[in-house]
Amino acid sequence: MVKISKTYVPKLTEKYMCEKHKAYFKKKLTEWKSDIIKTNNEALYNGSMDDNSVSADIVDQASSYTDKNVEMKAINRQIKLISKIDSALKKIKEGTYGFCEETGEQIGIKRLMARPVATLCISAQEKHEKDEKVYADD
């Protein structure tokens, strides 16, 4: 793998998904995953998920339950995100990262910088969202 500087940013003039691009996105995805894991570990360690105080007030209990429910949903979203990050890292290794899963076209540097786990190019993503909306309206 190619070494890149801390300030390196992929350029549109470089060959798409050259070794520098791959190194950049691998680093970005790996750091993102580490941040998510660190944040979740801190939340669990600090006891935000664990409430030992049994409140006599039914409103407090309901509020506590709601807070835990919201927290669990957030953790589930982060678990899904970690799975997407792992999948993106695997694609970098396989050489398929940065290409649309449906069309095979380039996803694009700007889109990947905004959403490094993107798997679809803009046109395929728009079609996918449009199809989802059609089915949701049924």
Q: What percent of the chain is modeled with pLDDT above 70?
A: 87
In the CATH hierarchy, which top-level class contains the domain 15-97?
Answer: mainly alpha
Give residue-wise pLDDT tens across range 64-121.
Answer: 777 778 878 888 898 999 999 999 999 999 999 999 999 999 999 999 999 999 999 9
Q: Answer yes or no: are the C-beta atoms of 100 and 119 closer than 8 Å.
A: yes
* Per-residue pLDDT reduced to its tens digit, 111-125: 999 999 999 999 999
For residues 40 and 78, is the Cβ–Cβ distance under 8 A?
A: yes
- pLDDT tens profile 26-41: 999 999 999 999 887 7
Domain boundaries, the chain: 15-97, 99-138
- Check residue 87 and give its pLDDT: 97
Tens of pLDDT, residues 39-60: 877 776 665 544 545 556 777 7
Question: What is the structure's pLDDT at 73?
Answer: 86
